[in-house]
Amino acid sequence: MPSVVDKGPLASIIFEMRTWLRCMMPFTRYVAPFYPTPDSVISRVLDLTGVRAGDVLYDLGCGDGRVLLAAARRGARGVGYELDPELVRDALESARKAGLQHLVKVVKADAATADVSDASVIALYLSDHGNSRLLKSVQATLRPGTRVASFYFPVALPGWDRALLTKDSADGLNVYVYKTPERDRRQEQQLGQRSQQAPPPPQNQSQQ
Ligand SMILES: C[S@@+](CC[C@H](N)C(=O)[O-])C[C@H]1O[C@@H](n2cnc3c(N)ncnc32)[C@H](O)[C@@H]1O
């Protein structure tokens, strides 16, 4: 079966319109339309984050799985989250055709629900608000030190500007690489400790 991006010009236009429209719907879980990262940028993302065998790369909104596949070609494991069933099918099919299905896993679900605790690298290519929304949702499971690479859109969450390792603008296309801030995890722990130390709520005392 041809992939959604190879079905001919008319089918591609219809697919593109559909993917844009559903992002504009109220209450949609889609935070970005499908728009694949150019191969040259994928190589740059993998070089900048130093992806190699032993790494686990998560692509939040993995589209047709091309980033996962490129990571798998370097011997890393790839885990993708994608809402569109056609793209999920394409991603799995490409991995199978490349003989790399043992290294590629694709979950058909909202990436906001992802547990990324085993990720060493996270790839993002969504939208300004999409990056922030998804990262905020997965932040609790994000290990400090995880490399996060975002193509085109910087991460606009508090503290992340200080976590920027590099901004690479080869070809005029920006790739931002971050190292997950330690601060957030410490703050979380402090918050947890504070709530444990908090005095018990006042008891309802009956007055005579
Ligand atoms: C710009 S494309 C990037 C595709 C791929 N990561 C790449 O770089 O080639 C964004 C993808 O995210 C998917 N997406 C948008 N919101 C999502 C969500 N909440 N959960 C999972 N996938 C989502 C879209 O369907 C689309 O395929």
C-alpha dihedral (81, 86, 89, 93), degrees to nearest 10: -120
- How many whole angstroms from 44 Cα to the centroid of ligand 1? 19
Query: Whose CA is closest to atom 16 on ligand 1?
Result: 30
Model confidence pLDDT, tens digit, residues 68-118: 999 999 999 999 999 999 999 999 999 999 999 999 999 999 999 999 999
Stronger pLDDT, 193 or 123, i.e. the higher one: 123
Give the mean pLDDT of 111-134: 96
Atom 9 in ligand 1: residue holding the nearest Cα: 36
Q: pLDDT at position 197, please?
A: 52
* Percent of all residues in the chain with a pLDDT value above 90, rounded to a whole number: 71
- What is the reported pLDDT for 204? 43
Q: Which tens digits make up the pLDDT trace of 166-202?
A: 999 998 999 999 999 775 455 555 545 544 554 444 4
Q: Give CA–CA dist 6/95, Å, rounded.
A: 16
Alpha carbon distances (Å) from 203 to 22, 148, 167, 200, 206: 50, 47, 55, 8, 9
Q: How far is the CA of 138 from the centre of ligand 1 (A)?
A: 15
Pocket test for ligand 1, best of 18, 30, 153 (most atoms within 8 A of CB): 30
Please spell the DSSP secondary structure of 73-108, one letter per residue: HTT-EEEEEES-HHHHHHHHHHHHHTT-TTTEEEEE
Q: What average pLDDT score do residues 144-150 get?
A: 96
Which whole number is the average pLDDT over 58-72?
98
The mean predicted confidence, pLDDT, of the chain is: 87
Compute the distance from residue 180 Cα to the ligand 1 centre, in Å: 21
Which pLDDT belongs to residue 200? Answer: 43
- State which amino acid sits at residue 175: V
Ligand 1 atom having least distance to the Cα of 32: 15
Checking if the pLDDT of 9 tops 60, the result is yes
Q: Residue 82 C-alpha to ligand 1 middle, in angstroms?
A: 6
- The CATH number of 52-191 is 3.40.50.150
Confidence of residue 15 (pLDDT cuts 50, 70, 90): confident
Pocket of ligand 1 (CB under 6 A): 29-32, 34-37, 59, 61-63, 66-67, 81-84, 87, 110-112, 125-126
Q: Where are the domains of the chain?
A: 52-191
Closest atom, ligand 1, to C-alpha of 127? 1
* Helix (H), strand (E) at residue 41: helix 39-48
